[in-house]
Amino acid sequence: MPLKSSGCLALATWCLATLYASPSYAQPAPANPTNAPALVENTLRNMPEQDLLPDPRVLQRPLNSPLPPSGVPVAPWPGLATMNIPSVNDYGNKKPHHIMTLEALSPGEGPSWLLPSEVDAQRRTDMEDPYYVPTAGSSHLVPQIMPFRERLQKKGFAFSFTYKGEAMGNINGGIRRGMDYVHELTLQMNFDLGKMAGLEGWSVHTLLMNRAGREVSHDMVGEYYVNLMEVYGLSGHVVAHLVDLYAEKQFLNNRMDITFGRMSLTHVFATSPLICSFMVTCSAPVALKLDPGFSVYPKATWGARVRFRPTRDTMIQLGAYQVSPLNGNPSGWSWGSEDTTGLMLPVELTWQPFLTRNRLPGHYVFGYAHDTSRYADALGSKPASLLAQPGMERSAPMDIFWFEGDQMIYRMGGRNQMAGGYLMAGYIHNTPHVSSISDEAYAGLSFNGLIPSRLTDRLGIMYSWYHVSDRKRLGQTYALDAGLSLGSQVRGPQTDSHVIEAYYAIDAVPGVTVQPEFEYMVRPGETSHIPDAALVGLKVIANL
């Protein structure tokens, strides 16, 4: 089943490319194969100019677009995901290079060269900056302070303050009916040290947050692996939880950047604005959030990450992060109290093609991480009389693999990467020997403009599947056979569960997004002992 999801996405991408290929521009077989690049260049040069440029109708910005005419928002902005904190840069005085991403080390292409030339928008040149903007941005609830913001921006300081509230109620199934509420307040601050201290290419990023509330999954549904609400947990219930405090340096003429300091691994690895528009998968898929070594937002540890683009259509990033228990240092400030258990070493390769004249972006992310910490055998150590080799349970490090793919299938409402509709799918695998959720697969869609007059609204639907490690299930079976209790949170040997989530995000007024939610969970608690649960809720995001 997981393989089918990624396979279907790849097939859809190829079908899309074939659909947009015009027979009138089909390339004849070259007489001299070594002259293929020149033939492609000649073919593209002879194509009518209007067939190379995007359709003007799909680039028309909606009247309520918060983006400036340049298409590049003033940083930082909260957008649809918490982790979108671009560098602070002045776009007004000169033509920017690709600040939203990086300049490529090589002028050529990677895998995109295998696509038909008629559908490969990066064949001859890189994209303009607006095409790399990862969200549609966000307006401000209090526009009266914009002159003050602009004065600070010129001096090198930018900030955003955001409220995110979620209310979710269980209306059928689960363990009981009822509703829970959680909220999150975040303050993001960026310091451009080039403007402040003449340190060109240097910047400092900080993020403080406050979370409060209860999780409907635990209270009403009886589910303890999958959080059905996004902004619950890991905050310590303190007034100001420190999430980020890290420095960034861009070098090699913006061809490489490095970040180091206190940060969450899921700010940059295994995440995206699309994934984070869903409650269940923000800020990363569940199977990754449960891994002790994966410092998921708002958990932060010491770490460093290097990122570069080998070619115009590929990105590589690799990092090294401290591993400490997820529930350690709940305030974010007590760095000396953290117990270091190992080192997390993630690496991620992204292929980002732009298809057809309308520059439809795709993101195909392949990631791997090795956690050097030693984790207890998921089988457990009791009862010894039923284990095949009593006393031989072994600890082991953890290896994590993930694939996350999405492809825009139509563009509507501008040049940024959220101005259009996407299909998406992904698969995550953890070492079963030491993990609770060993496998996860998801597939979904995210469309904008379903109502023609509301181009900035979005509809999202996602199905996700979670498989409990066979090793853990076997240990639970052994314990039950011996008459031992599995604890108050587990009703029986656990196998798998399924979640369907649907939302409609409404750009209600400038600076405010209202998002009605529906979720349906099959096999809560990963057993058949709890009835399937149906939930409805509401998420509100307000940006000062």
* pLDDT (tens digit per residue) in 523-540: 999 999 999 999 999 999
**Is residue 539 classed as helix, strand or coil in its secondary structure?**
strand
Which of 73-77, 114-118, 131-135, 342-346 is predicted with the least confidence, judged by mean pLDDT?
Answer: 73-77
H or E element, residue 249: strand 241-251
Phi then psi dihedrals of residue 194, to 5 deg = -65, -45
Taking the C-alpha atoms of residue 324 and residue 373, their distance in angstroms, rounded to an integer, is 9
At 115-127, the pLDDT tens digits run 999 899 998 888 8
pLDDT computed for residue 65 by the predictor: 78
Whether the per-residue pLDDT at 327 is higher than 80: the answer is no
Q: How confident is the model at residue 352 (pLDDT cuts 50, 70, 90)?
A: very high
Q: Does the pLDDT of residue 199 top 70, yes or no?
A: yes
Q: pLDDT value at position 200?
A: 87
CB contact burial 500-510 (16+ within 10 A = b; e otherwise): bbbbbbbbeee
| 495/16: higher pLDDT | 495
* pLDDT of amino acid 387: 57
Return the pLDDT at 51: 64
Whether residue 94 is predicted with pLDDT greater than 50 in this model: the reply is: no
Q: 3-17, 148-162, 465-479 — which is least confidently predicted?
A: 3-17
Q: Tell how far CA 503 is from the center of its chain.
A: 17
Q: What is the pLDDT of residue 3?
A: 43
Helical H segments across 279-338, by residue range: 286-289
Q: Which of 50-59, 132-141, 349-358 has the highest mean pLDDT?
A: 349-358
| Bond into 432 cis (ω within 30) | no
Residue of 437, 68, 509, 513 lying closest to 277 (CA atoms) = 513
Q: What is the pLDDT of residues 44-83, one digit of tens each?
A: 556 565 567 888 888 888 877 777 777 776 655 443 333 3
> C-alpha distances in angstroms, 219 versus 228, 233, 304, 447?
11, 14, 37, 32
123-127, 301-305, 317-321, range with the lowest pLDDT: 123-127
Lowest-pLDDT range of 40-44, 198-202, 220-224: 40-44
CATH topology of domain 69-543: Porin (2.40.160)
By mean pLDDT, which of 372-381, 384-393, 443-452 is the weakest?
A: 384-393
| pLDDT per position as a tens digit, 257-290 | 999 999 988 888 999 889 999 999 988 999 999 9
Pairing of strands 342-351, 354-355: unpaired
How much is the pLDDT for 380? Answer: 81
pLDDT at residue 77, rounded to an integer: 47
One DSSP character per residue, 115-168 reads S-TTTBTTSSSPPPGGGG--S-----S-GGGHHHHHHHHHTTEEEEEEEEEEEE
pLDDT of residue 339: 85
- Which of 472, 528, 469, 466 minimizes the C-alpha distance to 497? 466
Task: Over range 357-382, report the average pLDDT.
Answer: 92
Eight-state DSSP code of residue 294 = S
Residue 145 neighbours by CB distance under 10 Å: 12
Q: How many CA atoms lie within 13 A of 331 on its CB side?
A: 8
The residue to which tokens 């920017």 are assigned: 96
Q: What is the pLDDT of residue 317?
A: 95
Which pLDDT does position 499 carry in this prediction? Answer: 98
28: confidence class by pLDDT, cuts 50, 70, 90: very low
